[in-house]
């Protein structure tokens, strides 16, 4: 069974350290937090299985707020409230809001273990994972864009502001970050929402055809032009035109686009007249247009015409605390594609959940393909469950499986008398190597590969660490 990770939140240091040590002796991996704010930060960085928090944590966030944040990120997390005299009523209220149980101070460690084991057993038996049915709160979304991280909240504020303007927008970001989704969100929250949103991928169409697609053509303008046809600019009149991968345009087409933006009129291929258009332009690219301008491959005047309001899409690795919300969203969508039950039960497909161990692997992956890669990984995982209701690590793509789940964030308290850094590093190194050997069944060659080390280097490290690791 995968190691269970506990976040223990307590502002009384002696109690926190003593309980954490005893929980570690029971085989749990324990991280400590001395305040509600520190706990909330850790929850955004790691998918814990259990959070144990005192109800009262001094100034700042209290235990109820910690539990609320934990449940918002990980609806299947086990939450246990520790309460002192006079706050039992608050603890009961916390149970109503999703806590698994509460324990009153002072308590015996055995009592705490009974509560933890009972909660783990209950979660195992109730594998339906209620978080798949829990509705995402609207404040986490902007027309389908999902996220609640600080960087996404800033993005939502910017989008809400610029959506009300008619200014040209340049959306930049890596492939798979959702640039078109943002463009659609801007349009559907703008005064132009009743008009058309027209999208074109400039990098997917040859230059000769792209000009006709954008500006239209008259009959006989070129071979195959058997009828007059309006271009995308005319189609988007009074609405929004989304120019995806605008950085792939040739210099000659860049010049023609600049003239349209400046004059707000288009000339169809083969025509002598022009047509006035009122179009809000949103352009997008994963190229560095400023660098292209410096290199002379993109027109400087067009760049400034497009970059009136820049919108930078964050990479998924920059907002990993949004991954649990995205996972919930995609799993609900893929559930709709599952065949109905054939065992005589409800005709509605059964919910698919994801284990915390698998979720930890997802959160530790670097996601070069961003949200699109996450979506594809989950679609694959759902298809490979083979009737199981829970996605496990083995259902994830090999690259994500190999990456493994990262160790929880390090919490180091520096005492006034100093800190044994070499000893701490040795302890951490020993733990990581032990995990690698455990993961590879004791195969030192495979463990060395997993740690990006030479086998001989790993062997030397094992010797240096006084053979404190089973070989």
Mind giving me the DSSP string for 278-335? Answer: --EEEEEESS-HHHHHHHTSS-HHHHHHHTTEEEEPPPGGG-GGGHHHHHHHHHHHHH
CA–CA distances in Å: residue 276 to residues 237, 244, 258, 261, 264: 9, 23, 15, 11, 6
CATH number at residue 436: 1.10.10.60
Q: Is residue 442 part of a domain?
A: yes
CATH number at residue 174: 3.40.50.300
Q: Is residue 410 part of a domain?
A: no
For the chain, report the end-to-end CA distance as a whole number of angstroms. 21
Q: Is 199 helix (H, G, I), strand (E, B) or coil?
A: strand
From the list 261, 255, 242, the residue with the least C-alpha distance to 299 is 255
Shared domain for 99 and 13, answered yes or no, is: yes
CA–CA distances in Å: residue 238 to residues 151, 176, 191, 244, 271: 32, 29, 10, 19, 22
Tokens representing 407 are 């160790």
**What is the pLDDT confidence band of residue 139, given thresholds at 50, 70 and 90?**
very low
Q: How much is the average pLDDT of 245-274?
A: 92
Tokens 């284990």 sit on residue: 355
d(CA 45, CA 63): 18
CATH number at residue 61: 3.40.50.2300
d(CA 455, CA 6): 33
**Domain boundary at 316, 343, 371, which?**
316
If one counts the domains in the chain, the total is 4
Shared domain for 113 and 49, answered yes or no, is: yes
**Domain boundary at 272, 289, 316, which?**
316
Shared domain for 81 and 209, answered yes or no, is: no
Shared domain for 354 and 453, answered yes or no, is: no
Q: How much is the average pLDDT of 119-142?
A: 52
462 neighbors 453 (Cβ within 8 angstroms): no
Query: Which one has a higher pLDDT value, 145 or 348?
Result: 145
What pLDDT is recorded for position 159? 93
100 neighbors 70 (Cβ within 8 angstroms): no
What pLDDT is recorded for position 308? 96
Shared domain for 17 and 104, answered yes or no, is: yes
Shared domain for 312 and 345, answered yes or no, is: no
pLDDT tens digits along 324-363: 999 999 998 888 777 665 555 555 556 888 998 899 899 8
d(CA 103, CA 100): 11
Shared domain for 250 and 323, answered yes or no, is: no
**What is the pLDDT confidence band of residue 471, given thresholds at 50, 70 and 90?**
very low
Shared domain for 274 and 333, answered yes or no, is: no
Q: Is residue 66 part of a domain?
A: yes
CA–CA distances in Å: residue 278 to residues 148, 159, 167, 198, 240: 35, 21, 12, 13, 9
Distance of CA 158 to the CA centre of its chain: 19
Residue-range definition of the domain harbouring residue 213:
150-316
Beta strands in 131-174 (DSSP E): 141-142, 145-146, 169-172
What pLDDT is recorded for position 375? 94
Q: How much is the average pLDDT of 291-320?
A: 95
Q: What is the DSSP letter of 365?
A: S
User: What average pLDDT does the structure give for the chain?
Assistant: 84
CA atoms 453, 456, 460, 465: torsion sign: positive
What pLDDT is recorded for position 118? 87
CA–CA distances in Å: residue 149 to residues 44, 325, 367: 8, 10, 17
What pLDDT is recorded for position 125? 65
What pLDDT is recorded for position 86? 55
**Domain boundary at 370, 403, 436, which?**
403
d(CA 37, CA 9): 10
d(CA 328, CA 324): 6
Q: Is residue 140 part of a domain?
A: no
Q: Is 398 helix (H, G, I), strand (E, B) or coil?
A: helix
Tokens 């109503």 sit on residue: 96
Q: Is residue 409 part of a domain?
A: no
- Angle, helices 179-188 vs 150-162, to 10°: value is 40
What pLDDT is recorded for position 185? 92
% the chain with pLDDT above 70: 86
Burial 140-162 (b: 16+ CB within 10 A, else e): bbbeebbbbbeebeebbebbeeb
Shared domain for 309 and 294, answered yes or no, is: yes
Shared domain for 100 and 174, answered yes or no, is: no
Q: Has residue 237 got a pLDDT over 90? A: yes
Q: Is residue 408 part of a domain?
A: no
d(CA 82, CA 102): 6
From the list 34, 29, 25, 33, the residue with the least C-alpha distance to 49 is 29
Shared domain for 341 and 439, answered yes or no, is: no
CB-based burial label for 448 (10 Å; 0-12, 13-18, 19+): buried
Distance of CA 179 to the CA centre of its chain: 15
Shared domain for 218 and 309, answered yes or no, is: yes
From the list 51, 67, 52, 48, the residue with the least C-alpha distance to 3 is 48
**What is the pLDDT confidence band of residue 470, given thresholds at 50, 70 and 90?**
very low
What pLDDT is recorded for position 437? 81
Let me know how long the chain is: 471
CATH number at residue 373: 1.10.8.60
39 neighbors 7 (Cβ within 8 angstroms): yes
Q: Is residue 78 part of a domain?
A: yes
What pLDDT is recorded for position 381? 93
Q: Is residue 413 part of a domain?
A: no
């Amino acid at each position: 069974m995968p190691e269970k990770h506990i976040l223990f939140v307590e502002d009384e240091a002696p109690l926190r350290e003593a309980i954490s040590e005893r929980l570690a002796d029971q085989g749990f991996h324990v991280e400590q937090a001395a305040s509600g704010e520190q706990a909330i930060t850790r929850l955004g960085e790691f998918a814990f299985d259990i959070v144990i928090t005192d109800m009262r944590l001094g100034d700042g966030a209290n235990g109820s707020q910690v539990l609320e944040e934990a449940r918002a990120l990980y609806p299947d997390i086990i939450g246990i409230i520790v309460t002192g005299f006079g706050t039992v009523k608050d603890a009961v209220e916390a149970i109503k809001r999703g806590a698994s149980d509460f324990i009153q101070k002072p308590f015996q460690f055995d009592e705490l273990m009974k509560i933890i084991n009972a909660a783990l057993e209950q979660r195992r038996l109730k594998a339906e994972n209620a978080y798949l049915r829990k509705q995402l709160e609207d404040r986490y979304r902007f027309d389908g864009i999902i996220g609640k991280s600080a960087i996404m909240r800033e993005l939502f504020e910017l989008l809400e502001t610029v959506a009300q303007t008619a200014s040209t927008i340049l959306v930049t970001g890596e492939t798979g970050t959702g640039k078109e989704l943002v463009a659609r969100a801007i349009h559907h929250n703008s005064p132009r929402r009743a008009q058309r949103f027209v999208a074109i991928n400039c990098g997917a169409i040859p230059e000769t055809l792209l000009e006709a697609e954008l500006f239209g053509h008259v009959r006989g303008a070129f071979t195959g032009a058997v009828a007059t046809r309006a271009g995308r600019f005319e189609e988007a009149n009074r609405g929004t035109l989304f120019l995806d991968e605008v950085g792939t345009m040739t210099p000659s087409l860049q010049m023609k686009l600049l003239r349209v933006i400046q004059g707000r009129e288009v000339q169809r291929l083969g025509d002598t007249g022009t047509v006035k258009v009122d179009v809000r332009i949103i352009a997008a690219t994963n190229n560095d247009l400023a660098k292209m301008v410096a290199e002379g491959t993109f027109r400087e005047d067009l760049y400034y015409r497009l970059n009136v309001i820049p919108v930078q899409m964050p990479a998924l690795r920059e907002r990993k605390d949004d991954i649990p919300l995205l996972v919930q969203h995609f799993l609900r969508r893929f559930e709709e594609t599952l065949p109905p039950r054939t065992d005589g039960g409800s005709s509605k497909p059964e919910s698919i959940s994801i284990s915390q161990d698998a979720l930890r692997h997802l959160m530790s992956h670097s996601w070069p393909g961003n949200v699109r890669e996450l979506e594809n990984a989950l679609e694959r995982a759902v298809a490979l469950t083979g009737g199981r209701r829970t996605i496990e690590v083995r259902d994830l793509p090999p690259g994500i499986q190999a990456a493994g789940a990262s160790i929880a964030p390090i919490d180091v308290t520096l005492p006034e008398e100093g800190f044994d850094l070499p000893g701490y590093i040795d302890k951490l190194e020993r733990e990581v190597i032990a995990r690698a050997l455990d993961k590879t069944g004791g195969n030192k060659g495979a463990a060395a590969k997993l740690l990006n080390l030479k086998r001989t280097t790993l062997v030397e490290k094992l010797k240096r660490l006084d053979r404190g690791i089973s070989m």
